[in-house]
Amino acid sequence: MFKSLFRRKTEFSSNTETGLRRVLKVRDLAFFGIAAIIGGGIFSSIGQACASAGPAVIWLFILCAVACVLAALCYAEFAARIPVSGSAYTYAYASFGELFAWIIGWALIMEYAIGNIYVSFAWSEYFTHILDSLGWELPRYLVVDYTSAQEAVALISDRMGEQGLLISQIPDVQSWLIDHASAHEIDAWNAWHNAPRWGDDGRLIADLPAFGINLLITYIVYRGIKESKNSSNAMVILKLLVVVLVIAVGAFYIDTNNFKPFMPTGFGGVLSGISAVFFTYIGFDAISTLAEETENPQRNLPLGMFWALALCTVLYILISLVLTGMVPFQQLNVADPLAFAFAQHGIQWMEYLVSLSAVVAMTSVMLVFQMGQPRIWLSMSRDGLLPPAFSRIHPRFRTPSFATWVTGAVVGIPIFFVNEQFVLDFTSIGTLFAFVLVCGGVLLLPDREAETGKFHLPRYSSRIWFPIFSAFTYAALWINWPEFFDHLFYSWDSQAVQSHGMCSQDLHHMDAQFLPHRLFWLLFLPFLNALALRKNSSLIPLAGLAFCTYLLTGMDASNWYWFFLWFAIGLIVYFAYGYRNSRLNTHA
């Protein structure tokens, strides 16, 4: 049984057997990638990253971009060899075997679905803001999720208790809330207290705009790839124009004093923003799920990935500099940082324009994510790991119809009982995990000769260059951020704890925070160097493996908790259904 867990798939469907239309060109693929990458990150979660790192957040985007370029090269190599739907799932099946393929496919289910839940919430916030500006104010209990309302009531009640107040003792509750709560908390409070009730504790509170946009996007994806392509391209052109306008106008309001100090929270503060922004880079992974609907995928997939990645990284860096230059970075931990920055300078017309473009941007992101998820299920179903219904193609629209509607349900139903912060905390880990497996998978592939018209991953010797790059990285960190290695290698004895004014709880937190970093710098990176010296592995996938693994060390413990919980559920499903019904098992 152990060997069968790592059985590899070596045969893939031909172009004529898939039943999907090949209509996508390089421009379409690049636009799909841009649609996914520029959205929730640049209009919402980038504020949290800026608040954590200050102007130095640009180093985070550069670091993530390097990791994504290396991973994109590995994706492109796989796409050239295996031009079918499934993305990292299919690639893992060909290199690591069935169990790892299932794990990564299951992780991507979490990633696409959770990512779209977060974007749906962010879309709803901007959409509601636009309606409020027009005077069409919806009841708050129809635009706030239940969990957020419940948590806001508890938080505000605690603040009242700290002042020795009861609600009945406050003459004007709304005026008190304006002075002691954020706008989002006030909306959540009003939603809880004004919602229709049933029984003693039941309340009708739901974010209907978030659910409604998910339903609309699901229908568009169900109707067909050509309709989705046209919708995505139009939205991408519009939001790119607005983003460029935001950069151009915001540049005139930059105060260079806000750039001092440039790295106020240190290198650790830069890394702490990873979970807030990295999930947006799942865009080029979504491109690879469209291989069966792409003309000449061996050539067009790599080009689409690179164009999308290059343009989006430049825009992220410019937006970050504009934001942290316009407003002190400590104030940017808000849900709508771009609109907030222009509101601080009284530029009302830009505030409204940003809100409108954010709605368009979020819509295009959801469109791409909602297209990627059914096609992963489609591949898993073809392999027998999921029931046959997931690979059913609609006879008229030529789309995976059942998988599309199930995706809509998986995204839509949790909208009623989770909140934005909950889903944001662990959306990045599945993406990075996929990148690690793809880079590692390329290391296991046999060398092949370059073919005309197909992408071929350049092979550079790692025996010399990887140790040099590793030594350069150690030296650069030591010279520029010596305190990072002080914390990394510091021996936290009782005397040190006393000299730093720390209690035992602080000591435990410090050890837990730096444990992943210690494992990487002291164990994993030396192991990769030994691999380079002994095996002379290809440099690009080895460097991609190192970069993506290091970014994983920036994840909070809660991210890993939920990831492993999802992983455990996935293993139960695999052994209950997938292992027995696998096509490789049937043909064994």
**pLDDT, tens only, 321-361:** 999 999 999 888 777 788 888 988 988 888 888 888 888 87
Residue 588 — very low, low, confident or very high, per pLDDT cuts 50/70/90? very low
pLDDT at position 142: 92
Residue 163: is its pLDDT beyond 90? Answer: no
At 351-389, the pLDDT tens digits run 888 888 888 878 877 887 788 788 888 888 988 999 999
What average pLDDT does this structure show over 522-536? 91
pLDDT at position 512: 60
CA distance 381 to 508: 45
Residue 183: is its pLDDT beyond 80? Answer: no
Residue 318: is its pLDDT beyond 90? Answer: yes
Instruction: Output the average pLDDT for the chain.
Output: 81
What average pLDDT does this structure show over 301-317? 86
Query: Which is more confident, 482 or 214?
Result: 214
Q: How many CB atoms lie within 10 A of CB 54?
A: 26
Query: Which is more confident, 575 or 452?
Result: 575
pLDDT at position 283: 65
Residue 85 — very low, low, confident or very high, per pLDDT cuts 50/70/90? low
Task: Identify the structural domains of the chain with CATH numbers, from first to last.
Answer: 3-12+24-134+210-444 (1.20.1740.10), 146-205 (no CATH), 462-586 (no CATH)
At 256-275, the pLDDT tens digits run 999 988 888 877 778 777 77
pLDDT at position 499: 45
Instruction: Provide the terminal-to-terminal Cα distance of the chain, rounded to the nearest Å.
Output: 12
Q: Could you give phi then psi for residue 543, rounded to 5 degrees?
A: -65, -40
Residue 108: is its pLDDT beyond 90? Answer: no
Residue 84 — very low, low, confident or very high, per pLDDT cuts 50/70/90? low
What average pLDDT does this structure show over 280-309? 74
Contact criterion met (CB below 8 Å) for 455 and 76? yes
DSSP 192-209: HHHS-EETTTEE----HH
What average pLDDT does this structure show over 1-16? 68
At 115-153, the pLDDT tens digits run 889 889 888 988 988 888 888 889 999 999 888 888 888
pLDDT at position 437: 82
This prediction's pTM: 0.79
What average pLDDT does this structure show over 400-428? 85
Query: Which is more confident, 296 or 157?
Result: 157
Structure tokens at 298: 């061996």
Q: Could you give phi then psi for residue 92, rounded to 5 degrees?
A: -65, -35
Q: 68-82 in b/e burial notation, b at 16+ Cβ within 10 A?
A: bbbbbbbbbbbbbbb
Residue 492: is its pLDDT beyond 70? Answer: no
At 227-240, the pLDDT tens digits run 555 656 677 788 78
- Helix or strand run (H / E) with residue 234: helix 225-250
User: Looking at beta carbons, which pairs linking 344-352 to residues 24 or more positions away fall under 8 Å?
Assistant: 345/253, 347/249, 347/253, 350/246, 350/249, 352/130, 352/133
Which of 11-15, 87-91, 418-422 is most confident? 418-422
Which of 8-12, 79-83, 461-465 is most confident? 461-465
Residues of the chain above pLDDT 90, percent: 17
Contact criterion met (CB below 8 Å) for 391 and 400? yes
pLDDT at position 495: 44
Residue 487: is its pLDDT beyond 80? Answer: no
Residue 427: is its pLDDT beyond 80? Answer: no
Query: Which is more confident, 52 or 276?
Result: 52
